[in-house]
Amino acid sequence: MKIGVFDTGRGGKIVARRLAKIFPWHEFITADDRDNAPYGSKTPAEIRSCVSAAIKPLLSAEVIVVACNTATTIAINHLRMIYPKHEFVGFEPALRPALKSTTTGRVMVLATPATLNSKRYKQIKDRFVGSKKVFEPDCSSWAWNIENNKPQDIDLAPIVKLANDKKVDQIVLGCTHYLALQKPLQKLLPDAKIQEPTVAVAKQINRYLKTLPT
């Protein structure tokens, strides 16, 4: 089976490589929207328009992974409406597993402004946070830096300081681009668990595959 992976930029290829290791017997194709990236500061209407157009090269695939948290939270229901014959699997910040796993009750979410302000993200917070604390530091420039091969320009020191000061033990990577920072973050914060959604997405794909006739 052919599985498509969409992201605004280079993060989709990272996701496709990770998923290909889990599903080596399937073919993966990718598409991006680098001309309009990053999406984090765009309006919901602009994001839906961009995604609807950029997803077209993947329509030969039966399953399409929307490997962008911002696009998922804002546009995936729109995609399901205009492309009803396709199975769309979305990314969303792994806030729920982080809240479930935390022992300190302190979680940090690294995400774009559009994701943090999205209805879906706010619904998850309202339902699952309770008495726990969620910290959302400004990462608005990160996607641009990573997309333009400048991850070294991202200053992780404030993130590390905040995590240590607040006793954060769960860090959620809420943007596909930020997967490029997973290793340096883990090195700087060895006692924190970094949550990213690739495994959860693989489980969703697997559930769909099991519904198909053999």
Show me where the domains of the chain are located: 2-92+198-210, 95-195
Higher pLDDT, 111 or 197: 111
Q: What is the pLDDT of residue 168?
A: 97
99 residue type, one letter = L
Do the domains 95-195 and 2-92+198-210 match in fold? Answer: yes
Task: Please list the active-site residues.
Answer: 68, 175
pLDDT tens-digit series, residues 37-47: 777 678 889 99
Identify the band that residue 135 occupies on the pLDDT scale cut at 50, 70 and 90. very high
How large is the average pLDDT for residues 153-169? Answer: 96
pLDDT at 177: 84
Largest CA distance in the chain: 53
Q: Assess whether pLDDT exceeds 80 at residue 170.
A: yes
Q: Is the pLDDT of residue 214 over 70?
A: no
Tell me the three state secondary structure of residue 45. helix
pLDDT reported for residue 31: 95
Tokens of 35: 């001309």
Q: 95-195 adopts what CATH topology?
A: Rossmann fold (3.40.50)
Asked whether residue 186 carries a pLDDT value surpassing 90, the answer given is yes
Q: Give residue 2's pLDDT.
A: 94
- The sheet with strand 63-66 has its strands ordered as 27-32, 2-7, 63-66, 87-90
CATH architecture of 2-92+198-210: 3-Layer(aba) Sandwich (3.40)
Do residues 131 and 18 make contact, with C-beta atoms less than 8 angstroms apart? no
Q: What is the mean pLDDT of the chain?
A: 91
| Percentage of the residues of the chain whose pLDDT score is greater than 70 | 99
Q: What is the pLDDT of residues 68-110, one digit of tens each?
A: 888 888 899 999 999 999 999 998 888 999 999 999 999 999 9
